[in-house]
Amino acid sequence: MSEKKKLEAYYGLPEEVSFCTKCVMSNQRPTSTVEFKHTKDSRKTTMNFDEQGVCDACRTAEIKDNIDWGMREEELVKLLDKYRKNDGSYDCLVPGSGGKDSAYQAHVLKYKYNMNPLTVTWPPILYTDYGLKNWKNWLDSGFDNISFYRNGKVMKLLTKLSIENLLHPFQTFILGQKNLAPKIAAQHGINLIFYGENEAEYGNPLADNMTSLRDKSYFSFEHLDEIFLAGVSIKELMEKYDVRLSDLMAYLPPKAEELEKANIEVHYLGYYLKWTPQEVYYYAVENTGFKARPHRTQGTFSKYSGIDDKIDDLHFYTTFIKFGIGRATYDASQEIRNRHLTREEGQALVSRFDGEFPDRYFNDVMEYIGMESEYFHELCDKFRSPHLWGKDEEGNWKLRHNVAGKGLED
C-alpha cells in the first residue's frame, strides 16, 4: 500500500482528492452542515462527481440552461395567488440580513408580485459597519422586520465551543438561523416561507422546490438527548457550562406538534426565477440601497457576498483548513457556472486568494469569544486532515493537491 493510501482522511472525506473538470471545486466539499463532537467522526457526505468528473453543481447549472423560465414563473404566480392575503396581514416570510439575496427576494415578492412579506433577521454575530447599514437600507426600502437578538452570553460560548470542538465558527449560528423562520412564521400565522437559491446550486443534494414543515425530518424536536450544539450535548451544556435549556431554545427546532398545526411550506425563489448572483447584486443596489464592501473580501476576489458578519471571513478560512476549500474556490466555481469566468481564470484566482488569512477582523473575533490567537492557530493545525495537508522543505503547511496542479504531491 502506498504512503498516500495510508494517510488518514478526517470528516468522512474521500481519500483521493480530485477536482471538477468544469469548475474549480474539489470532491472534498461537504454537503451536510451536521457536525458531531469528534473531529474524525463528523459523518459528512461530499458532493458527487459523475463519470466525466463533473460535479453536481455544474450539472445543475446545465439543467438551468434548459428550463422554461416563463413556465416556472407561471408556477410562482399560481403559488402566490394561493397564499396572497387581502386583509393587510403578512402572507409570506423572508429570512435575511439585508444582503443582496434577501434584499432581492423581499423586494421582488412585494413590488413585482404584490405579496406582503414579513422579513425576519437572525443578526450577525459581529456586524460589520457596512453590513448593518445594508440591513437598515433594506428595511427603509419598504419592509417590516423582526430582528431576533439571542442571548449574547450564550452566543459567545457556543461560538467559542464551535471553534474548539469543530473548527466551525458558524455551526450554532447556522442552526439558529435555520430554525428561526418556521418559529416566527408559526407565531404570525404565515404559511409560506421563501429562501433564495436552491441548495443544489452549490452541490448539495438536489432539493425540491417545496418542503413541507409537516415533514418531521425537516425540523424536529423529537430527541433532545441526541442533539449536539457546538459539538457538545444539550445535557453537557446544561451541566458543565451552567446553561439553561431556555437559553438554548433559540438554536433548537420547533416541536413537531407545533409544525403540525402551522401547516407551513418552504419554497426556493431560485426554483421559479433564474438566479444569477451578479444580476441579483445589481438589482439590490438599484432597489434597496445595497452597497458592496469598501474593500476586497480577504480569501477571495469579490466584494458583495457574505459581508455583514466579521466572523464570515474566518469561517471560510476554517473550511480551507478542514477541506482544502477556501472562499475563492466557492466564488470562482459559481462564476464559472454562470459563464462569468473561464476555468483557467478560476484556477488563477484560487491560487492567488484561497487560504488568505483574514486578519482584518481576526483580533475582533478573538476578543469577542475570549480566545488567544495562538490557541486558534494550534486548533487549525489539529484540524488539518493528513490526506490534505503536508509540510514543505521549509516546514510550512501546504496542500498536497490543488486545482492548479501545484500542490505538495502534484
Q: Among 240-254, 256-270, 295-309, name the one with the lowest average pLDDT.
A: 256-270
| Beta pairing partners, 233 | 228
Looking at the chain, the whole-number percentage of residues with pLDDT higher than 70 is 89
Instruction: Locate the domains of the chain by residue range.
Output: 3-65+326-354+371-399, 69-272
Using one digit for the tens of pLDDT, what is the confidence trace for 327-342?
A: 999 999 999 999 999 9
pLDDT at 44: 52
For residue 397, what is its C-alpha cell? Answer: 503547511
For residue 276, what is its C-alpha cell? Answer: 444569477
- If you average pLDDT over residues 188-213, what whole number do you get? 68
SS3 for the chain is: CCHHHHCCCHHHCCCCCCECCCCCCECCCECCCCCCCCCCCCCCCECCECCCCCEHHHHHHHHHHCCCHHHHHHHHHHHHHHHCCCCCCCCEEEECCCCHHHHHHHHHHHHCCCCCEEEEECCCCCECHHHHHHHHHHHHCCCEEEECCCCHHHHHHHHHHHHHHHCCCCHHHHHHHHHHHHHHHHHCCCCEEEECCCHHHHCCCCCCCEEECCCCCCCCCCCHHHCEECCEEHHHHHHHCCCCHHHHHHHCCCCHHHHHHHCCEEEEHHHHCCCCHHHHHHHHHHHHCCCCCCCCCCCCCCCCCCCCECCHHHHHHHHHHHHCCCHHHHHHHHHHHCCCCCHHHHHHHHHHHCCCCCCCCHHHHHHHHCCCHHHHHHHHHHHCCCCCEEECCCCCEEECCCCCCCCCCC
Range among 167-176, 249-258, 316-325 rated most confident: 316-325
Using one digit for the tens of pLDDT, what is the confidence trace for 31-60?
A: 754 443 334 444 457 888 999 999 999 998
Range among 31-35, 46-50, 139-143, 212-216 rated most confident: 139-143
pLDDT at 217: 41
Q: Which residue has the higher pLDDT, 223 or 178?
A: 178
pLDDT at 32: 57
pLDDT at 55: 95
pTM: 0.91
Q: What is 69-272's CATH number?
A: 3.40.50
- If you average pLDDT over residues 258-270, what whole number do you get? 85
In the predicted model, what is the mean pLDDT of the chain? 89
Instruction: State yes or no: pLDDT of 214 exceeds 50.
Output: no
Looking at the chain, the whole-number percentage of residues with pLDDT higher than 90 is 80
Q: Among 37-51, 83-97, 181-195, name the one with the lowest average pLDDT.
A: 37-51
